[in-house]
Structure 1
Amino acid sequence: MDYVTIYSTKDGNEIAVLKRVYNEEGIDYRIEDADHTGEVKRLQVAEKDKSKARELLDQTGFLTASQAHVPVRRRMAGKRWIFVFLAAFLLIIVVVVILMFMNVE
């Protein structure tokens, strides 16, 4: 039988709650170690129960809770260009200052 990962967490309490909910609803599930260290657990459900399991995740509020465990990686698109611009601006200032002191009259 094919299983699909629908939730992963480091919190054992979340897994215990989801086990209870899925047992009560009769959903076929299994729990695996995602990183083989025992910290991160993946909750997998049978392909036939996927939509019902996701609906239960949404109803119990775990869909928003799972996003707290995902590292947020924000990256500014122009960050590299800001550094290039600042470096070029600093280089121009250094050249102007050097030329001012080298100009002997």
Structure 2
Amino acid sequence: MKTDFIEIFQTIRAALQPYTALDFSNRINSDEAYDLWSDKNFKSESESVTERFFAAVEITGKGVSFRCGTDEQLIEQLDTTYMAKIEDQLSATYKTFKEEEWV
């Protein structure tokens, strides 16, 4: 089980980085924060979108904040089971992005 916030951050960031090969780009890439966005332009009847948030991880004073889509979690400990849930969440959110043609 990982309890060091830097180690937790780096583990989650490593899970996010392969998504850059799937047409996501990052706005922030530092030792304490990393995020991914889709830059695909999208128009619907009610909105015109030039970018859409996908996921982010950031070290905070209380733990590691992980956001994926609209879900946000504060992580203080990370084990393989929790990491698998994060990877499943990333995969499910990516599937939604593909189905909606946001990426």
- Is the TM-score greater than 0.5? no
Q: Kindly indicate which of the two structures has a greater share of residues assigned to strand.
A: 2
- Name the larger-Rg structure: 1
Q: What TM-score do you get using the length of structure 1 for normalisation?
A: 0.31
